[in-house]
Every structure is written in structure tokens, then in C-alpha cells.
Amino acid sequence: MEVSLFIGAHRTASTHLATMLENNSPLLLEQGIGYIAPNIAMKAISHAQKALTDGAEIEAVQQELLATMAQGRDLDRVVVISPGTLGAVTRPFGKALFYPRTSGLIKQLQNVFQNIHTQLFLSVRNPATFIPSCYAESILNASFNTFDDFVTEVNLPDLKWSSFIHRAQGKQADISLTVWRYEDYPYMWRDVAQAITGLQNGQDFVGTTERISTSLSLRGAQMFYRYIEEHPPRSKGDFAKTKVVFQEKFRSSPNEIVGPGWPRDLVKTLTNNYEDDWYYIERMDGVETIQPRHF
């Protein structure tokens, strides 16, 4: 059985992709492809990692792992969408790196899936929108911090997805990766779904691109933070109601990128760096990119 694993990044429409795969499960199963929920998959992978650390035989561990992932289905391929594999949305970067723990965590995955045909997939996003979106998601998940503290001690212009990809590949670039840009995803999500599942005809997927990765705007997230600081919720229910109000009133928009602590000149610098970095990524060894079609 083959394994397709989406490992990140956060806030790149992975929820949309997972939902589409879930909704198209009957179509996938007709071709021996199974989508598995990330909580089940990552729990099984974590259990396998612990078993290997405790000295269990690799064959037995992998047999149990694949059986868990197959969930009683006769499959040729299993697909996992887990953007949290290499880090948390509350801190998706270090001082100058996206997902600083990538190298070590990839080695763990390699150990678990050794001799199993495994393909890794990831999506990148303009840091100018990625970082505020991660901050907004942190606030919505009750990880409270000011935006200034969220990006403190981070050399923002030094953050490059190509460095993240190099670390995901390993020192000898011995792991093949398939990469696409979040900005292109709404126009080619069927191509992405086809690549990660191996479905014969990606146009058979049924779905819509409505409300892809909607979140709070940066200004909305900052206002939400201040509101919670001044009006602490008395229960989870109160917090949930307040969250809905802010999500409806301050929805993120591609036309509203700048905000307090996120000036226009910084947005321009990060965007230009991102375009240059993508040009480099397109030419990296062992990296296959998915591009929008031009008709």
C-alpha cells in the first residue's frame, strides 16, 4: 500500500482539500484510494514511532500501522492531510526558519515508513498573508498573544520556503516532494487532489472553491485579542459566541493585507522575496510543482 501525506503548511486551504476528499470518498474507494482523518492517522503514526523506539520489529509495527490506516478497506493508497505534522499554527516559525523542527520530524517519518512507498506533499504561501493568518488562527484557538509578540525576534525577510523544503528533503535531497502555491490552489484544486490521490481523472472530483481558508483579518484578530483581554469570557460557550461575531464582522480579505504592526513596505518586501523564492523552488532537484493550467 502506498501512502500520500500532506505535511503542511498551515493556512493553505488544507481544510478545503480534506473536506473535498472526504466528500468524494466513494469515488476514491472505487479506485482503491482511501482518505483517513488526520487524528486517526497521526495517532497511529505516533504509536508506531513509540513502538519502534521501544524496540519492536519494524515489519510488525508497519503491518499494524497500515491496517489501522486502511480501516478494514482493501486499499492501494491511503491519503492523509495533516498540516500540523511538522509544527503548530501558534508558532510556525523560528528566528529565521519556517517550522524549525522539520528535519528531525521528517527523519521520524522516514523511519516509520521505511520501505513503504511514501509521497510527501506541501503547499507554500506568501509570508505577507501566511503570518497574519496564522496569528488569527492562534487567536481563534485561544492562544492569546499580541501580534507584536507573535512575530518578536523573528527575522521576517529571512523566512524562505525553499529552506523549509530543503530540510524536508533531507541532506541528500532523497525525498521527492510535490509543492504548490496557496494562491494558485482555488484555480487548480482538482489537479492538487488528483496528484495527492492518484485518481485517474481529477475532473471527476465534485466540489466548490467557496470560502477557502476564510479567517479573521489581521485587524480583526488584534481587535478580538483586545476585546477578550477587556471582557474575559466566563465559559467556552461565551468564547465561541464572541468568536463567531468577530469572524462574521472581520473576515479576512486578499485586499486587506496590511494592518497595525504590518506596514505596506514590509508586505511588499515579503511578497517580492516570496516570488523570488518560488522561482528557485521551481528549479529545485527532487521537487515537482503543480502549476495552474493556461488555456
Q: What is the pLDDT of residue 172?
A: 57
- Tell me, yes or no, if the pTM score tops 0.75: yes
Q: Is 235 helix (H, G, I), strand (E, B) or coil?
A: coil
At 144-177, the pLDDT tens digits run: 889 999 999 899 999 999 999 999 987 655 677 9
Q: Using CA atoms, how far apart are residues 135 and 154, in angstroms rounded to an integer?
A: 14
Query: Domain residues of the chain, as ranges?
Result: 2-289
Whether 254 shows a pLDDT value over 80: the answer reads: no
Q: Does residue 14 carry a pLDDT above 70?
A: yes
Averaged pLDDT of the chain: 92
Tell me whether residue 197 is exposed, middle or buried, using C-beta atoms within 10 angstroms of its C-beta: 0 to 12, 13 to 18, 19 or more.
buried
pLDDT tier for residue 92 given thresholds of 50, 70 and 90: very high
pLDDT (tens digit, 9 = 90+) per residue, 201-215? 999 999 988 767 668
pLDDT at 44: 96
Q: Classify burial at 117, counting beta carbons within 10 Å of its beta carbon; exposed 0-12, middle 13-18, buried 19 or more.
A: exposed
Q: How confident is the model at residue 255 (pLDDT cuts 50, 70, 90)?
A: low
State the pLDDT at residue 170. Answer: 78
pLDDT at residue number 173: 56
Count of C-beta atoms within a 10 Å radius of residue 157: 13
202: helix, coil or strand? helix
The class of domain 2-289 in CATH terms is: alpha beta
Residue 259: predicted pLDDT: 76
- Greater confidence (259 vs 7) lies with 7
List the end-to-end C-alpha distance of the chain, in Å, as a whole number: 36
Kindly tell me if the per-residue pLDDT of 295 is higher than 70: no
Residue 77: which H helix or E strand, with range?
Answer: strand 77-81
Q: Tens of pLDDT along 263-292?
A: 999 999 999 999 999 999 999 999 999 999
Grid cell for residue 249: 464582522
